[in-house]
Structure formats: C-alpha cells, structure tokens
Amino acid sequence: MNIWTAQSNPTKQTLAAWFLTAMGGVLLYAFRHFSNLNTKAGFLLGLFLLVLGVWGLLATGTQTITIDPKRRRITVADTTRFGTKERVIRFDEITHVGIGYLGKKSNFVEWYYLSLTL
C-alpha cells in the first residue's frame, strides 16, 4: 500500500501576519500624538495589531500528516521556527473516526475533516 501525505501551506497565514504588522505600524505612526482619548485608543489598537502580526510571523509553521497503512500508524509533524514536534498515532489507539464539516453550500465553500477519538 502507498503512504499518504498531506502538508499544510502557511502562505495565507504569513500574508495575514504581514498585513496585521503593516496596519499596526500605520496606526502607531498615525496616532503617535496623544492629544485625546481617541488617538490613544488608535495607538493602542496599532500596538495590539503590531504585536499580533509579529507573533503570527514567528509562529508560522508547516504541519505534515503522513498515513502509513503498512505500518498502521499516522504521523503528525509540526515544524515551526523553534523546532519540530512529531506525534505518532497507532491505528489501534483510535476508538472512533468521525467526519466534520465546515462551510456553506450556498457560497460553495466546503471543508471536510476527520475527527479521531483516541
């Protein structure tokens, strides 16, 4: 039997983090003078977006899921800038498999995922 491999694509997460970082920088620059309460709120919002964006850039990673039917195991590897975590799930540890669904048929966005109960 063949080994099945699925890998996440962190491009969208990285783009969103860059966007948040840029918007936070713009708000920090625009509201750098604390003349009233509104500019202070804008500055704090910019600071929050900047921190959130930088954290998103640092935490971006790739998840690789490998299903090996011959060895009867599933391997989940999370790779980030700080290292790699790997989890091995043997088939006999799985007690139930369910199918989850996200999205709407009306806007043609449908996502199915497997939910494993160990």
Given pLDDT bands bounded at 50, 70 and 90, which one contains residue 41? very high
Residues in a beta bridge with 33:
none
**Cβ(67)–Cβ(3) below 8 Å:** yes
pLDDT of residue 49: 96
16 and 22 in contact (C-beta within 8 Å)?
no
On whether the CB atoms of residues 109 and 103 are closer than 8 A, the answer is yes
According to the model, what pLDDT value does residue 44 have? 93
The upper half-sphere exposure of residue 114, i.e. CA atoms within 13 Å in the direction of its Cβ, equals 10
What would the mean pLDDT of 16-36 be, rounded to a whole number? 92
pLDDT for 46-75, tens place per residue? 999 999 999 999 988 899 999 998 999 999
pLDDT value for 20 = 95
